[in-house]
Structure 1
Amino acid sequence: MAEILRYFNWTYVSTVASEGDYGETGIDAFQQEARVRQICIATSVKVSRSVNRGNYENVIRSLQQKANAKVVVLFTKSEDARELLSAAARMNATFIWVASDGWGAQESVVHGSEKAANGAFTIELASYSIREFEDYFTKLTPELNTRNPWFREFWEHRFGCRVHEHGCAMKSLRNGAFKPESKIMFVVNAVYAMAYALHNMRQAVCPNTTKVCDAMKPGNGKRFYREFILKTKFDAPFRPADTENVVRFTSLGDSLGRYNIFYYRKEDNKFVYKKVGYWSQGLVLNTSVVNWATGVVPTSQCSDPCHPNEAKSMQPGDVCCWICIPCQPHQYLLDEFTCMDCGFGEWPLANLTGCYELPEEYIHWSDAWAVGPVTIACLGMLCTLAVAGVFLRNNDTPVVKASGRELSYILLSGVLMCYAMTFIYIAKPSAFVCALRRLGLGTSFAVCYSALLTKTNRIARIFGGARDSAQRPRFISPASQVAICAVLISAQLLVALVWLLVEAPGVRKEVGPDRRDVVTLKCNSLDSSMLVSLTYNCILIILCTFYAFKTRKCPENFNEAKFIGFTMYTTCIIWLAFQPIFYVTASDYRVQTTTMCISVSLSGSVVLGCLFAPKIHIILFQPQKNVTNLRAKENRFSSVATTAPSSTYSQASASTIVPTVCNGREVVDSTTSSL
């Protein structure tokens, strides 16, 4: 019975038992089996021996109070089952009955209450008729069967006459519809089991006699039970040829149960018991002949089944009652009781059995957001390399020398790095790419503005020294300038390295508020950290702008300071516009990345256009200006009245001087690479 309930997943049932050994013992055994299979008992009712019609209706009312327990297990005598069905019919109560062999397949139980019994599952001990017993029994008459005192009473009840009356004893059991009790088989098997046990005991304790010996006296009953009854095993006698029925007992003294399972239903306008399976140490059911009223298997559970996206929250101390708790959209069902979060960047499958990874999104090289910045960067790099080529080819001309060759090449390398940053920012984020972003962005700016600061500082010190005294300023040689520039660049590299150590580079995944969007790959550095790392570059820009402004009054025959001033003013405008734009576009990584790339490329383009374009113009299109004005000098940084221009190009030697006028005074520099 418990396995039938488990088969249909009926986990919340009520029970009714007849008072007495049969009902109480049976229902106790059922409850033990039910607990093993996690089947809960909603209510358990006992029918007393002195129950009346009203009490049966009270039993039905008790069952109706547990509305979710739609299945009722009956372990009752046949008369109690009949009265319960009658009460259910009167009260229009509908249950699914699962009944023991007290109901079995008896028509008398359901007579008059067929509709109330419709859909019931009943069990009956599997048995077969014994023809030999039927032949023997139907031949008996009161005269021939004097050893059974009850037979005379049975005969009189059967034929409705007195044995001593004329003709009563002449009647025969073969006349009329006689059907012996179906459990005769078990009585026969029990008799044979006792006979086999006695036979085996006699052979074991007194093999030399054919009579009952002292060892077989009643005082040895316990030994007889343990060693012989429980160990008896034989094939049942009188069984049909196609029937397998071995008689043996368990350690508890129970025989092996075999049950037929019936389903009570309406068929051809008539209610019948339909065999749907059997149980022999295991359940076998043929549910194809079971027709449910609703077309689906009814439920009998304490709580309604949870929806596919809900988990069961069990009530304390109860295995059958639960509360359904919806899982969050980003959760899947680890089991029927647990909602589990999908990992970051993952989303539950449609059936909630697991998670799948959301597609990763980043700027691809073919995206429109990447084409523009990459095109600008490629053009800028070509221009930078072209400028570097022109400078290298005219390395010893006055314009290149006056530009400060070493610092110019450092400046060009910084511009080239600015353009190269576009490719690093467009590349798919990874730990290596993120590390390059941190190192490259600040360093490329630092290379540019360190070289410019060194230039402007040198110009300011030379012009200031020429105005205030005739003594040559210190650290204006090319080697000193390169060293100063390297120190300034090293400071930014140190900041970037500390940043890498404090906040290890890596990739983070970002999703939208509902976590269902595609995953955006980003470097794990914060925007604020990136801007803080550029603070040093801001200081360099401010100092460059200050020195460019300070030397703004130099006349046109020394216009290096003027071009540096244009460069720094434009750079300040770009940087002032970049920071608010960078934060405003933080919600869209595409716009932010494109803005960053274009801003960095513009910074390099400003340096390339404002500082190098005039020099390239002179070198390529006005070579007549790319000559040295020679002047005799008496000593270093002395004032002169006249100049001796040279109309032809000549190399400046160690004693060559380039006159320069600033703030109304003419100053000269005799270095091999002049201002």
Structure 2
Amino acid sequence: STDGDLVIGGLFPVHEKGVGSEDCGKINEHRGIQRLEAMLFALDEINKDRSILPGVRLGAHILDTCSKDTYALEQSLDFVRASLTRVDGSEHICPDGSYAVHDDVPTAITGVIGGSYSDVSIQVANLLRLFQIPQISYASTSAKLSDKSRYDYFARTVPPDFYQAKAMAEILRFFNWTYVSTVASEGDYGETGIEAFEQEARMRNICIATSEKVGRSMNKKTYDGVVRALLQKPNARVVVLFTRSEDARELLTAAQRANVSFLWVASDGWGALESVVAGSEAVAEGAITIELAAYPIKEFAAYFRNLHPYNNSRNPWFREFWEQKFRCSFHTQDCSRYSLKTGKFEPESKVTFVVNAVYAMAHSLHNMHQALCPNTTKLCDAMKPVNGKRFYKDFMLNVNFDAPFRPADTESIVRFDRYGDGIGRYNIFNYHHMDGRYRYQKVGYWAEGLILNTSLIPWAETSIPVSQCSDPCKKNEIKSMQPGDICCWICIPCQPYEYLLDEFTCVDCGLGYWPNETLNGCYELPQEYIRWKDVWAIGPVTISCLGFISTLFVFGVFLKNNDTPIVKASGRELCYILLTGVLMCYSMTFIFIAKPSTEVCTLRRLGLGTSFAVCYSALLTKTNRIARIFSGVKEGVQRPRFISPTSQVVICMALISCQLIIVIIWLLVETPGTGKETEPDKRYIVTLKCNNRDSNMLISLTYNVLLIILCTVYAFKTRKCPENFNEAKFIGFTMYTTCIIWLAFLPIFYVTSSDYRVQTTTMCISVSLSGTVVLGCLFTPKLHIILFQPQKNVASHRVGTTRFSVAAAGSSLFHGSASQSVPTVCNGREVVDSTTSSL
């Protein structure tokens, strides 16, 4: 204790927890001695400062909590003794008439600085509030202490743990560590801290693999059991610690015994203390720890290094500290030669907050003194004693001042929020091996937001470690979550035609669309159709061009020789119709190769069946005429009707009209247009096609099949007609070949319906071949005579039909003069025709 006009209490963990039934253990150098001396240092500086409470001296009454809440509560009774015994002795008279004799009563405590651990502060706060004694803690961070309904005389210069928990959760989320284990110390600090962390973790979809707790009376075996429990979750490589420094040290030692390592993320209980990692540096390597943002106080460092047992008698524990630190004993008189000036001084991380707490108490008293005692520098009656309730609510919670001893380039304000809490600011450290030694490296900062410099973190695996329950899914996979667990999943691949709506849902792009490279949307597939430069088009187009030119050439030759016997004998009118049909067949290739559109699709339907109908209607008319002439006509039968050129053209046009009617009905029933078509197993290919069904095309071609069959039948019946009637034989060749082409074409057309290129090419070649067969078999012989055997293109090589007679084979009965007739046998009958009109 130190004397003063106003006395401020202090609670510090001068000793560690005792073992077994012992209350106190060994001296706690950093958290005990340094913090205690920081309070004394701050009081010295305040008492020297004429701007703070001039004329009023502050004293101290400091107690040891031995790092134990129950022991601290017992010690804190000293703070309330003055309140309990604050009575006027003159009012108490003994039975013999003498006045009562009182023991020395300590001066009333104005306020208390402390405690250190949260569970200690909670116990003490429950006691002090009964006597309206304000309390400022320098290290207690439990969120419970923010509850003003229960701790209405408590304040602190440090922020509550939920800020720290938030910072730790943000670190995990930053590195995508979504599956972690936790270890908490028993008591309010660890339990409420880890509870706050778990709440923040859930908000960020971070899962807890296992939660362990370390107790106050644990031994090596129980710590080893905690390590074994952590190993049961191998995917949770990150372990979050919300523990006291002693518990963190024991846990690292247990991990070293088990020869295992984890990636530790630790609270300020570990902070940047060398004592935690001493002897366990290898298993601690890579740890990320959090420490309250503070600055070193050079003045305190100089003050502390000058301390010596012989000049620091006011600290009753300093001699014990000295003996423990230098491993000496004052009983042997060999301790005086040691000095704190030698060796490296490691400042305790909370020293700044101890100094700030003392200054906050002093500034609050100064403000109260100015308000209540404006006319004196001494204490007035209004502050004898200090009204704790008014002092706390009106002055302490409203205090605001620049932090003392701060570096010139540092802005730091000491103030409390409405809950009596300090401002949340944290430094983030990484413990790693560098330059031949292990050290803490500051790698980030947190103040309502995370700032990390990952380039300062030398990961042992050269890349950020993974701590996830399940491996990340591939680009085209979604997560199938396990029931009740948001961090464990099974990866399920999406279909090739699906995109990822989110990480849990595949969505079909729809026909004609395909996922983009990032699989976050779809794009419209390009429509495929045969283009003029494709190999599939070059072949059919070449054939059609050659056929088209050849047909035009034949057309020209026939027109030039229109009045020659060979052209007349061929039936000029039907030949020109037939050549027109052949031209239409060759033209169909260009229509089928053209890009599908409503107009093109209309022409396809109209042109395909009609081109065939023109060809086969003309051929049917020809073969029917010949067959009727040479059918079973009796002797003397009249000349058949409708064999004149005009009649033949009319019959041919009537046959063609039937096909046109069929096509028009088809166009009306099924409106022509285009459509996109995809195969179920090849949805990435979108074919632009006409919207007609192949079955409907078959119905349209059925009429042409009927024409082909009839032509073939008539050609077969007239196959034996000789001489000028050999045209029937060539028609027969044409129809036989056509039948073969169609028999091959129709199956190929329907079998290849899944490949539009093969189907279209097959269609074009088949149609062109049909025209080529007609052109080659019927017109090439005539063209050969016209061009190379003109001597045969005379009347003597022609058979007329104006005068007509038929007789049975071997008969000598003829109608008309036979002197200029040539008897001929056709299908078993003798035929004589001496007219000059053409067939």
Query: What residue in structure 1 maps to residue 317 of structure 2?
Result: 154
Q: What does 1:96-495 correspond to in 2, within 5 Å?
A: 96-130=263-297, 151-155=314-318, 157-158=320-321, 181-193=348-360, 224=393, 233-250=400-417, 252-308=419-475, 310-327=477-494, 336-338=503-505, 373-395=540-562, 400-427=567-594, 433-461=600-628, 467=634, 478=645, 480-495=647-662
Change (3 A) 1:430 1:555: same
Residue 603, structure 1, aligned to residue 770, structure 2: yes
1:519-668 matches, within 5 Å, as 530-552=697-719, 556=723, 558=725, 561-579=728-746, 595-616=762-783, 621=790, 622-625=792-795, 640-642=815-817, 663-664=829-830
Instruction: Supply the distance in 1 between the matched residues of 2:337 and 2:721 (Cα, whole angstroms).
Output: 152
| Residues 243-273 of structure 1: per-residue CA shift (max 9 Å, x gap) | 1113344555432222222222234443332
Per the alignment, residue 79 of structure 1 pairs with 246
CA RMSD, 1 decimal: 5.0
Tell me by how many angstroms 1:431 deviates.
5.9
Q: 1:612 to 1:89 in 2, by over 3 A?
A: closer
With normalisation by structure 2, the TM-score equals 0.64
Are the counterparts in 2 of residues 399 and 626 from structure 1 also a CA contact under 8 Å? no
The secondary structure found in structure 2 opposite 1:115 is helix
Q: 1:82 to 1:627 in 2, by over 3 A?
A: closer
Q: Provide structure 2 residue ranges, at least 5 long, that are not aligned to the other structure.
A: 1-167, 325-330, 805-813
Task: Return the offset for 1:236.
Answer: 2.2
CA distance in 2, matches of 1:660, 1:579: 41
> 2: distance between equivalents of 1:78 and 1:459?
117
**Counterpart among 52, 56, 61 of residue 219 in structure 2:** 52
CA contact 1:457–1:547 (8 Å) conserved in 2: yes
3-state SS of paired residue (1:45):
strand
Relative to 1, partners in 2 of residues 1:444 and 1:250: Cα closer, same or farther, differing over 3 Å? farther
Q: Structure 1 residues 429 and 280, CA, compared in 2 at 3 Å: closer, same or farther?
A: same
DSSP 3-state at the match of 2:316: helix
- Gap change, CA 1:610 and 1:632, over 3 Å in 2: closer
1:125 and 1:192 mapped to 2: Cα distance? 18
CA apart distance, 1:674: 5.3
| 1:35 counterpart = 2:198 | no
Q: Distance in 2 between matches of 1:31 and 1:314?
A: 20
Deviations 1:297-317 (A, max 9, x none): 221111233345543322233
Which segment drifts farther, 49-58 or 578-587?
Answer: 578-587
Which residue of structure 2 lines up, in the alignment, with residue 650 of structure 1?
Answer: none
| Match of residue 653 from structure 1 | none
Q: Counterpart of 1:297 in structure 2: which amino acid?
A: I
The 1-side partners of 2:177 and 2:454 are apart by 15
Alignment deviations for residues 372-411 of structure 1 (CA, whole Å, 9 cap, x no partner) = 5444433332232233233334445565455444333221
Contact persistence 1:414–1:444 (CA under 8 A): yes
**What's the counterpart of residue 2 of structure 1?**
169
Q: Could you tell which deviates more after superposition, 659-668 or 603-612? A: 659-668
User: What percent identity do the matched residue pairs reach?
Assistant: 66
On the 8 A contact 2:414/2:422 being kept in 1, the answer is: yes
The 3 A distance-change label for structure 1 pair 99 and 555 is: closer
Distance 1:78 1:479, change over 3 A: same
Instruction: Flag the 1:387–1:288 CA change in 2: closer, same or farther, 3 A.
Output: closer
State the Cα distance separating 1:448 from its structure 2 match.
Answer: 0.7
Q: Is the 8 A contact 2:501 2:507 kept in 1?
A: yes
Q: Which moved more, 1:449-458 or 1:200-209?
A: 200-209
1:16 counterpart = 2:186: no
Question: Could you tell which deviates more after superposition, 466-475 or 258-267?
Answer: 466-475
The answer to whether the 8 A contact 1:618-1:626 is kept is no
Q: CA contact under 8 A between 1:68 and 1:300: conserved in structure 2?
A: yes
User: SS at 1:153's partner residue?
Assistant: coil
Measure the CA separation in 2 of the matches of 1:404 and 1:443.
Answer: 21
Q: Which moved more, 1:302-311 or 1:620-629?
A: 620-629
Contact residue 799 and residue 835 of structure 2 kept, 8 A: no
Offset, 1:446:
0.8
| 1:591 Cα deviation after fit | 6.3
State the partner residue of 2:233.
66
- Give the aligned partner of residue 649 of structure 1: none
Q: C-alpha displacement at 1:114, in angstroms? A: 2.4
2:655 is matched by which residue type in structure 1? L
Give the counterpart of 2:257 among 70, 86, 90: 90
* Distance in 1 separating the partners of 2:576 and 2:598: 31
Does structure 1 conserve the Cα–Cα contact (< 8 Å) formed by 2:305 and 2:341? no
1:302 maps to amino acid: C
| CA distance in structure 2 between the aligned counterparts of 1:197 and 1:456, rounded to whole angstroms | 126
Question: How much has 1:419 moved relative to structure 2?
Answer: 1.9
Deviation at 1:26, TM superposition (A): 1.5
Partner Cα distance (1:535, 1:87) in 2: 91
> Which moved further from structure 2: 288-297 or 4-13?
288-297
1:563 and 1:96, CA in 2 relative to 1: closer, same or farther beyond 3 A? closer
Cα pair distance change 1:397/1:186, threshold 3 Å:
same
User: Could you report, residue by residue, the CA deviation over 1:129-154 in whole angstroms, capped at 9, with x for unpaired residues?
Assistant: 44566788899999999xxxx94533
CA distance in 1, matches of 2:571, 2:800: 19
* Partner secondary structure for residue 534 of structure 1: helix
Give 1:447 shift.
Answer: 0.8
Equivalent residue, structure 2, for 1:654: none
2: CA distance between counterparts of 1:244 and 1:276?
20
**Residues 317-361 of structure 1, C-alpha deviations (whole Å, 9 max, x = no match):** 322111223455666656544556677788877876778899987
The aligned counterpart of 1:651 is none
Distance 2:651 2:524 in 1: 52
Q: Is the Cα–Cα contact under 8 Å of residues 243 and 269 in structure 2 kept in the other structure?
A: yes
Q: 1:154 to 1:543 in 2, by over 3 A?
A: same
Opposite residue 659 of structure 2, the aligned amino acid is Q
CA separation in 2, counterparts of 1:205 and 1:567?
129
Change (3 A) 1:310 1:551: closer
C-alpha deviation, 1:19, in angstroms: 1.3
1:97/1:628 Cα in 2 relative to 1: closer, same or farther (>3 Å)?
closer
- C-alpha separation between the residues in 2 aligned to 1:243 and 1:631? 125
> Which piece of structure 1 moves more, 346-355 or 60-69?
346-355
- For the residue of structure 2 that corresponds to 1:123, the secondary structure is strand
